[in-house]
Structure 1
Amino acid sequence: MAMTAAVMSPWRSVSELRLCARMYVWAYALDDFTERDTTDLASLDEMLGRCRTIVHTGACDTSDPLLGALSGLHKELTRQPLYPALSALWTEKFDEGMRGLRYDWLAGHGRKGSAPPDNGVAEYLDHTESILVWITHLPRWMSHQDPGLLDRLDALIPALEDFSVTIRLANDLSTYAWEKDQQGQNNILMYGVSADWVQEQLDARIASGKRHLAPLLSEHFPPAVELIRCVEWSVTFYALADFRKPQEPHA
């Protein structure tokens, strides 16, 4: 997680990257909870609802390690230079991520064997923030020292929208081989589309994001460069590795 944070922003200091790395770890732990530890919808809704309460109200909740960690992270986020200006975007995208996780859980647990889910590809694509890219990337913007970032959100936001979908699709291509046989998983390749079609969508999203960022890249604006490094690192990682691939038993 620390390497991921550093690769995307190699010019930033350790103190600047620490919050980003901790958010990666938290998001991964929440994903563990939703995919591995939650067996019923009520417990999922309770956890996601408490997470939302922390982000919306700033209340501290130490009733669970995940909630305690989020409480500390959110408190630290509120101290960042651009948090006041980006707080509404933060809560909006946090909610979007929680909805995405819930959607994935429902779709995965409602799937009957190898039959395609009842919901369609368009609905799936509306919930790709289950990958939690916004939650893990926004701390970079909040901690940026140049308020000029706010004047460039009209390019940064649609680019990150494109790249969030890109990263989810790259993840799906990487994990389908084992997810297709595991109850509770949700993957776009379970919806009757081909890997070639998914790759076309992925490539189109990358191209769209780069078009949004082109003016900022021409001036070497650091947050735009970070977004390019984010999507390139993520897509390359998923092409070569998988955090969650079940381990083969030792002989």
Structure 2
Amino acid sequence: MPQLVTVADELRQAADHGRVCALAAQGHRDLQRGLAAHPALFAAEGPFDATLTSSIALAIAFSAPWCDAAELRLTNRAVLWGFALDWQVDRLATSAAELDRLVQGQLLVADGAPAATTDPLGQFLAGLRADLAAVPAFATLGGAWLAAVERTLAAMRREWHWKAGVRDHLRPPPTLAEYLGNADNLACTVVNVAHWIRTGGADTPARLDRLVVASDAVQRALRLVNDLSTYERDLRWGDLNAIMLVDDRSVVEQDLTRLVGQATDLIDELRADCPREAAYLARQLGYTTGFYRSTDFWGVS
């Protein structure tokens, strides 16, 4: 006989949802302050509206509901940096030379150089790096974060050149395997590394390599989750999308099933000695999959 859900059960469940939403509300307000502090970067006519920042805060709060707002502040801002970087690479960089300057500037700032006063994206990253560098674990794990930043920038640059080559009829589009191998352009693992530096314990340095492997698997799956939901928008914007690289959408759907299985296996392997990190990755994968069934983070058509 099925067990009946009591009113007390519903009250507890609703109270827990309310607590997580309150955590997201705090994150949303902080992100809005971040937007207000960088008006040259987050222009009102761009995609950086209140819906984007609330969506980011909700995603992070539901991925790590055991954290408090102070712990998630850096993670939220790391996600926002990823969106700002993606926008500048995809929509604002009009030449290879301009792209190279953008990438090189971000690399220098991530490595500790001061941002130029004419570089609003660099200034935002400098603030993020300063917050991260204030965490004691950064002394040991800062190199891992810098490596993740480098991978993200290289992947975004690579996709830019892929799109330019296809647009100008200089090269065929990448294969689906090549495209998935470039999933760092989603800027998921770079955020996760920052999150673990900020919230991890004394054993995080010994486990970070394994966490990154699992995060990369989640990132590849989420690359396809994103593409299956944003195909029409990507067509309008002239962006690459996994569906464009195959003859049948079902190929991407089948690949997503395979990638989710791989990610799930890796997460399960972490549960014994990294339970909180494993839960974070599982919730990240599940929440984002559910989110993209109905809407998108970007607020522009």
Counterpart pick for 1:201 among 226, 245, 255: 255
> What's the secondary structure of 1:39's corresponding residue?
coil
Contact 2:221 2:263 survives alignment (8 Å): no
Amino acid at match of 1:108: K
Q: Which residue of 1 aligns with 2:268?
A: 214
Counterpart pick for 2:151 among 96, 104, 123: 96
Q: Which residue of 1 aligns with 2:84?
A: 29
TM-score by length of 1: 0.88
Residue segments in structure 1 that go unaligned for 5+ positions in a row: none
Identity %: 27
Q: Distance in 2 between matches of 1:67 and 1:134?
A: 20
Q: Structure 1 residues 90-99 or 191-200, which shifts more?
A: 191-200
Contact 2:227 2:241 survives alignment (8 Å): yes
Cα distance, 1:114 vs. partner? 11
Q: Distance in 2 between matches of 1:234 and 1:64?
A: 31
Contact 1:55 1:91 survives alignment (8 Å): yes
Q: Distance in 2 between matches of 1:219 and 1:174?
A: 34
CA gap 1:43/1:220 in 2 versus in 1, 3 angstroms:
closer
**Paired residues, number:** 245
Cα distance, 1:192 vs. partner? 2.3
Counterpart pick for 2:290 among 213, 228, 236: 236
CA gap 1:70/1:112 in 2 versus in 1, 3 angstroms:
closer
**Map 1:1-251 → 2, pairs under 5 A:** 1-56=56-111, 58-61=112-115, 62-112=117-167, 117-183=172-238, 185-218=239-272, 221-244=275-298, 246-247=300-301
Contact 2:229 2:292 survives alignment (8 Å): yes
Amino acid at match of 2:105: R
Contact 2:186 2:223 survives alignment (8 Å): yes
> What's the secondary structure of 1:143's corresponding residue?
helix
1:36-85 C-alpha deviation (Å, 9 max, x unpaired):
222222111101110011112x0110331111010111111112232223
Amino acid at match of 2:148: K
TM-score by length of 2: 0.75
CA gap 1:129/1:193 in 2 versus in 1, 3 angstroms:
farther
Contact 1:128 1:164 survives alignment (8 Å): yes
Larger Rg: 2
Amino acid at match of 1:170: V
Amino acid at match of 2:283: R
RMSD: 2.3
Cα distance, 1:169 vs. partner? 1.1
Q: Distance in 2 between matches of 1:13 and 1:159?
A: 24
